[in-house]
Structure formats: C-alpha cells, structure tokens
Amino acid sequence: MVLKTKLTQLVGIKHPVVQGGMQWVGTAELASAVSNAGGLGILTALTQPTPEHLRQEIRRCRKMTNKPFGVNLTLLPAITPPPYAEYADVIVQEGIKVVETAGNNPGDHIKKFKANGIVVIHKCTSIRHALSAQRLGVDMLSIDGFECAGHPGEDDITGLILLPLAAKALKVPFIASGGFGDGTGLAAALALGAEGVNMGTRFLCTQEAPIHNNIKEQMVSASELDTSLIFRTLHNTARVFRNKVAKEVVEIERQPGGAEFSQVAPLVSGQRGKLVYENGDSDHGIWSAGQILGLIKDIPTCDVLVSRIVKEAEDTIRQRLNSMVVDDAKL
C-alpha cells in the first residue's frame, strides 16, 4: 500500500515526502538518500559556490540515485546577488525535472523552467504570495507555516490556518511545510488539503545529513521551546536554534530604538553558521531549526525515517480516522 497524491504523480515519487532545500545541507549525500527512500531529495543550488559546482553536484547525485530529485533555487535580496540566471541555466542544461523556488519573485526563472518542461514548486508563507506565484504559472506550492525553520514571513500564521485557507483559495495543488516530522503530521496535512509534506529540520537529524553528529544530538535533546525568532525588528524574521548567538542577537534587537543590521551582522554571518555544521559547536553561529525539534527523538537513516512516517500516516488514516466514521444508526 502507498499514499497516492498529486505530488507523487506529478514528480514520479513513491511517497509524498519532500526534503526541503537547506543551505549547507542540501548536498548529494542527503538528496540521494531521501530519493532512494522514495521521497523527493533536493539539492540546494546556493550551497554550491558557483553554477559549475552545482553542475558537478547534480552529476554526483545522479551517480548516487536513479530516482527523481530536484534543485532548490532561493532568491535572496543582496547588494551583489549571486548569478541566479547562470544557476538556472545549469539546472536546465543538466536535465533537472523538479525545481523548488523560494524568496523573491521567481517570475523570470519560472518562465525559463516551464519552457524546458520542469515542474516548479514555489514555497510561500502567505496566501497572497501563493496566489501571486499561482498567477506566475507554478505547478505546485509549498505552504510554509509559522512553525518552520528559516524565514516564516511576518504574518505569524501557523500551518493549521494556512493549509485550509490554501485549500479554499488555490487552484494548483500544494504541499505542507513547517512543523512536519512524523506520520501523524503527514496524515493531518493530507486531511487539511495538502498533497504531501516538505520537511527540513527533520531531515537535518538523519544519518545521511552532512553535518556534525554533535548538532544532531543537540537536536534530539532539544524541545519545541528551543528555537528563537531573530530579525523581528528588521522585518526579516528568522527561526533559528536557541543558542548563545541567537540570544545575543535578540538582546541587541531589544535595545531602545531597535537595531541596525550592521550591529548583528558579524554574529549571523553564513560562514559562522556553516562552521556550526562542520565543527559541531552549536554556539558558534546561528543555524536554522523549526519547532518540530520537540518531536525529534532519534537519528535514523532517511530510509527508516520516510518508511516510518508513511506507515504511521497510513495507520493513522486507516485505523484511527476511519474508525471514527460510523453509521449513526449503530450509535
């Protein structure tokens, strides 16, 4: 038995589980493991320093799996932006069939991807942005609730509200992101109108995730209370693991008059966050983590995790939910 959804049919995967694009983590090791487990693994384009490095990573991933996998292209505001068009060209040239976009308006890139038969899944944190992306021609949306790691937007709306709103407002299918990491969550997402789930933090805590084991152990011992929201006063909210650096950033932001980004920039540099994953010092820099931390109790392989999630979802639907529907004449 499998869960057949519009997601599994659209991208040709066995299970409706997607590994979201994660900076420094979305490499061939993790993406191929998720795809081999029956989900959709995602390489993160900007983890690679140049478009040509992305080309080599795609080819390396193909040697590790013959199953579908995709590439995440996140469009970020920057004084000197990365060469997004060149990354997009590599994605097209290498025959990638699924792209996850996020961040700024992806309109120009969507046109290029669609012209080359690529399925585009765009991640949004609000219904208004989802509707805009729908007008741009995306095939599917990833609706990201306030529980998520990374940037949850500025509206603070949880998935429990966003998902049914999306089901009512959207014409294209969508998957659920933010706060998912087990089978009951997958069953709930399907019940709320989603076609599957997108998981970041949960896949971070797997055997194949290319990060130091100290960080994985820290996640297992953490609770749902161990995240912090930073950049609130800068209107660029990010949910990260609650460590010494995150607390320092929050304290700076609480100063009278708020804070300028220049005051926190040395603390939140991406290179410091990268070193967290490499050296295992969880306090060295900021690193993304969602509230799903509270439900993470082990460090399985991706195959064990995906299989367990799907079985738990099937059991929840078949045994718990179906058992509640009875003929009222029998009451």
- Which CATH superfamily is 6-210+300-319 part of? Aldolase class I (3.20.20.70)
326 Cβ contact list (under 8 Å, min separation 6): none
* Tens digits of residue pLDDT in 223-270: 999 999 999 999 999 999 999 999 999 999 999 988 899 999 999 999
Residue ranges, CATH 3.20.20.70, the chain = 6-210+300-319
Q: Please state, in angstroms and as integers, the Cα–Cα distance from residue 203 to each residue in 24, 59, 156, 252, following that order.
A: 13, 22, 24, 31
Per-residue pLDDT at 160: 97
Q: Please state, in angstroms and as integers, the Cα–Cα distance from residue 130 to each residue in 74, 173, 266, 326, following that order.
A: 16, 11, 33, 37
36 Cβ contact list (under 8 Å, min separation 6): 64, 65, 67, 302, 303
Strand pairing class (69-75; 41-44): parallel
Enter the tokens of residue 234. 């800068």
Q: How confident is the model at residue 309 (pLDDT cuts 50, 70, 90)?
A: very high
Alpha carbon distance 24, 22 (integer Å): 6
Buried b (16+ CB within 10 A) or exposed e, 160-193: eebbebbeeebebbbbbbbbbbbbbbbbbbbebb
Strand pairing class (17-19; 238-241): unpaired
- Judged by DSSP in three states, 88 sits in helix
The model's pTM: 0.96
CA torsion through residues 56, 79, 146, 216, sign = positive
Place of tokens 């509200």: 161
Contact between residue 71 and residue 60 where contact means Cβ atoms under 8 Å apart: no
| CA angle 176–102–205, rounded 5-degree value | 60
Per-residue pLDDT at 246: 98
24: left (phi over 0), alpha (psi -120 to 50) or beta: left
236 Cβ contact list (under 8 Å, min separation 6): 151
The CA R_g of the chain, rounded to the nearest whole Å, is 19
Alpha carbon distance 82, 51 (integer Å): 9
Between residues 115 and 78, the one the model is more confident about: 115
Alpha carbon distance 69, 100 (integer Å): 11
Alpha carbon distance 154, 235 (integer Å): 7
Per-residue pLDDT at 328: 81
Residue 124: which of 98, 97, 96, 154 has the closest Cα?
154
* Tens digits of residue pLDDT in 168-221: 999 999 999 999 999 999 999 999 999 999 999 999 999 999 999 999 999 999
**pLDDT at 157 exceeding the cut of 90:** yes
Alpha carbon distance 217, 205 (integer Å): 8
